[in-house]
Amino acid sequence: MAIEIAPSPLQILKSEWLEKQGIALYIKRDDLLHPQVQGNKWRKLKYNLIQAQEEGHDTLITFGGPFSNHIYATAAAAKVLGLKCIGVIRGDKELPLTPTLQFAVKHGMQLHFADRAEYKTKDSVEYLNSLTGQYGEYYYIPGGGTNLLALTGVSEIIDELHGDFDYLCTGCGTGGTIAGLVAGLKGRAQVLGFSALKGNDTLTPYVTQLITEYCDEEYNNFSINFNYHFGGYAKIVPQLIDFIQKFKEVYGVQLEPVYTGKMMYGIFDLIEQGYFKKGSNIIALHTGGLQGLSGYPDYFPEFESGLPD
């Protein structure tokens, strides 16, 4: 394995408001793991990359949208490891490419654009076999990076958390991160997820299934909150942007509006409502994804061209 990444720091957030609420709030800074392969994407990729190398694969195939954190991180990791990489991108090719896709191409990823009808079949055996016909043998990493190997990488976060805490919070997309956290905790503390997606709760049973498949255990110390999606995946409203900007001013930490901004907004709102008992120790996981700020140039012009290489 050619990517060595040290544990990320745990930072306490200090303000008069938090002191008044009687809450100790920490942020696990996985956004600082690596300039490009950061956050939960690194955690999910780690053991998939090891497996790909051990099986002798020289090509990765994975899936995502035009601003996908997963596509970005996979392209960067593949370049470091000297692996070929193909990204199946949801939607038709549009020029200029997004900063995310420009970065992916620059780092050697070959892009395969799939219209929505084709993309819906991306997990089928028939479709995956068709990709073998086009590109030869490859190592398959699902969109978002969620599989059982991803849970192993995410669960390692728990070993980096020292001391007692009452809640561990994370943003939720495909469910792999919260599943890995729950599996790693083995019933200790409460895990609170904040869904970035609008819709019916099919995520909770899927997370339960992932955990059971991974460790043959059922844990009930987690829940997923669906009240802070702000209209759906990657949707924003002015109060969310205002919150992210003020959060950076007060705490010196950059959030993004797809996952971490919604999670932290939810945590602060629940603190205001008295959801957490006074004296609670809360850890919020910063899952990275800051490259996605390039998708909101009107609000974050300093990230319009993406993160610096």
- For residue range 204-223, list pLDDT tens digits in order: 999 999 999 999 999 999 99
Mean pLDDT of the chain: 95
54 class by beta-carbon count within 10 Å (0-12 exposed, 13-18 middle, 19+ buried): exposed
Cα–Cα distance, 93 to 71 (Å, whole number): 15
Tell me what pLDDT residue 1 has: 52
Residue 236 parent element (H or E): none
Contact 243, 261 (CB under 8 A): yes
Whether 308 shows a pLDDT value over 90: the answer reads no
Region 84-89: mean pLDDT is 98
pLDDT of residue 2: 64
The burial of 231, by beta-carbon neighbours within 10 Å (0-12 exposed, 13-18 middle, 19 or more buried), is given as exposed
Please state, in angstroms and rounded to a whole number, the distance separating the CA atoms of residues 280 and 283.
Answer: 10
First to last CA, the chain: 21
pLDDT tens digits for 246-265? 999 999 999 999 999 999 99
Q: Are strands 10-13 and 24-29 parallel, antiparallel or unpaired?
A: antiparallel
d(CA 296, CA 257): 9
Return all residues near 180 (Cβ < 8 A) that are at least 6 apart: 43, 150, 151, 152, 153, 154, 155, 157
Separation between Cα atoms, residue 7 and residue 4, nearest integer Å: 10
% of the chain exceeding 70 in pLDDT: 99
Q: Provide the token pair at 265.
A: 């907004």
Rounded to two decimals, what is the model's pTM? 0.95
| Whether pLDDT at 59 is above 70 | yes
Angle, vertex CA 145, rays to CA 144 and CA 150, nearest 5 = 140
User: In what helix (H) or strand (E) does residue 279 lie, and over which residues does it extend?
Assistant: none
Distances (CA, A) of 182 to 88, 193, 224, 282, 309: 30, 10, 12, 15, 33
Query: What residues contact residue 257 under an 8 Å CB cut-off, 6+ apart?
Result: 230, 234, 236, 240, 241, 244, 293, 296, 299
* pLDDT band, residue 306 (cuts 50/70/90): confident
Q: What is the pLDDT of residue 53?
A: 96
- Which domains are present in the chain? 10-36+146-303 (3.40.50.1100), 39-145 (3.40.50.1100)
- Cα–Cα distance measured from residue 277 to residue 270, given in angstroms and rounded to the nearest whole number: 11
Say whether 198 sits in a helix, a strand or coil: coil
Q: In what order do the strands lie in the sheet with 167-172?
A: 10-13, 24-29, 281-286, 167-172, 190-195, 222-225
Who's near 210: CB < 8 A, 6+ residues apart? 146, 148, 151, 175, 176, 179
